Amino acid sequence: MDAELDRDRTDAEEAAEPRRSRLPLHLRTAAFVLLLVGFGGALANESAPVTPDSVYSYLFFAGVACAIASVYLGIYQGGASGE
Protein backbone atom coordinates (compact mmCIF):
# COMPACT_ATOMS: atom_id res chain seq x y z
CA MET A 1 0.00 0.00 0.00
CA ASP A 2 2.82 2.42 0.83
CA ALA A 3 4.52 1.67 -2.48
CA GLU A 4 1.30 2.55 -4.29
CA LEU A 5 1.06 5.89 -2.46
CA ASP A 6 4.70 6.62 -3.25
CA ARG A 7 4.08 5.83 -6.91
CA ASP A 8 1.08 8.19 -7.01
CA ARG A 9 3.06 10.93 -5.33
CA THR A 10 5.96 10.58 -7.76
CA ASP A 11 3.55 10.59 -10.73
CA ALA A 12 2.12 13.90 -9.53
CA GLU A 13 5.62 15.33 -9.02
CA GLU A 14 6.70 14.15 -12.49
CA ALA A 15 3.62 15.76 -14.04
CA ALA A 16 4.51 19.13 -12.48
CA GLU A 17 8.19 18.87 -13.43
CA PRO A 18 7.94 19.66 -17.17
CA ARG A 19 6.14 22.94 -16.50
CA ARG A 20 8.87 24.12 -14.15
CA SER A 21 11.72 22.92 -16.33
CA ARG A 22 10.38 24.74 -19.40
CA LEU A 23 10.58 28.23 -17.85
CA PRO A 24 14.38 28.62 -18.29
CA LEU A 25 14.01 27.41 -21.88
CA HIS A 26 11.36 30.03 -22.62
CA LEU A 27 13.42 32.75 -20.93
CA ARG A 28 16.48 31.71 -22.93
CA THR A 29 14.52 31.87 -26.17
CA ALA A 30 13.06 35.26 -25.25
CA ALA A 31 16.54 36.51 -24.34
CA PHE A 32 17.91 35.45 -27.71
CA VAL A 33 15.08 37.15 -29.61
CA LEU A 34 15.15 40.33 -27.52
CA LEU A 35 18.92 40.67 -27.74
CA LEU A 36 18.85 40.10 -31.47
CA VAL A 37 16.05 42.60 -32.10
CA GLY A 38 17.43 45.18 -29.66
CA PHE A 39 20.99 45.04 -30.95
CA GLY A 40 19.94 44.84 -34.60
CA GLY A 41 17.51 47.73 -34.22
CA ALA A 42 20.13 49.86 -32.50
CA LEU A 43 22.59 49.19 -35.30
CA ALA A 44 19.94 49.97 -37.93
CA ASN A 45 19.24 53.32 -36.23
CA GLU A 46 22.98 53.95 -35.86
CA SER A 47 22.75 54.30 -32.11
CA ALA A 48 24.48 52.41 -29.32
CA PRO A 49 22.42 49.59 -27.77
CA VAL A 50 23.29 50.76 -24.26
CA THR A 51 21.94 54.31 -24.48
CA PRO A 52 18.41 54.90 -23.16
CA ASP A 53 17.35 57.03 -26.10
CA SER A 54 15.57 54.38 -28.15
CA VAL A 55 13.11 51.54 -27.76
CA TYR A 56 15.73 49.11 -29.01
CA SER A 57 17.92 49.73 -26.00
CA TYR A 58 15.05 48.71 -23.72
CA LEU A 59 14.59 45.53 -25.75
CA PHE A 60 18.32 44.87 -25.43
CA PHE A 61 18.21 45.35 -21.65
CA ALA A 62 15.13 43.09 -21.40
CA GLY A 63 17.08 40.42 -23.29
CA VAL A 64 19.97 40.70 -20.86
CA ALA A 65 17.54 40.40 -17.92
CA CYS A 66 15.91 37.31 -19.46
CA ALA A 67 19.32 35.73 -19.99
CA ILE A 68 20.34 36.34 -16.37
CA ALA A 69 17.01 35.00 -15.09
CA SER A 70 17.34 31.93 -17.30
CA VAL A 71 20.79 31.13 -15.95
CA TYR A 72 19.67 31.70 -12.35
CA LEU A 73 16.60 29.49 -12.70
CA GLY A 74 18.57 26.79 -14.49
CA ILE A 75 21.10 26.66 -11.65
CA TYR A 76 18.43 26.89 -8.97
CA GLN A 77 16.31 24.09 -10.43
CA GLY A 78 19.36 21.92 -11.07
CA GLY A 79 20.45 22.28 -7.44
CA ALA A 80 16.93 21.67 -6.12
CA SER A 81 16.54 18.38 -7.97
CA GLY A 82 20.02 17.19 -7.00
CA GLU A 83 21.40 16.96 -10.52
Per this entry, what is the length of the chain? 83
Q: Is residue 9 part of a domain?
A: no
Question: What percent of the residues of the chain are helix, what percent strand, and what percent coil, each to the nearest 5?
Answer: 85, 0, 15
* Predicted TM-score of the model (pTM): 0.68
Q: Is residue 12 part of a domain?
A: no
2-44 and 55-81 helices, crossing angle to 10°: 160
Count of domains forming the chain = 1
Neighbours of 33 (CB within 10 A): 14
Contact criterion met (CB below 8 Å) for 67 and 35: yes
Q: Is residue 2 part of a domain?
A: no
Q: Which domain holds residue 28?
A: 22-81
Q: Is residue 74 part of a domain?
A: yes
Q: Is residue 4 part of a domain?
A: no
pLDDT in tens, the chain (83 residues): 555 555 555 555 656 566 667 888 899 999 999 999 998 988 888 877 777 778 888 999 999 999 999 999 888 887 765 55
CA dihedral sign of residues 8, 13, 19, 21: negative
Q: Is residue 32 part of a domain?
A: yes
What single DSSP character describes residue 51? S
Q: Is residue 65 part of a domain?
A: yes
Q: Is residue 11 part of a domain?
A: no
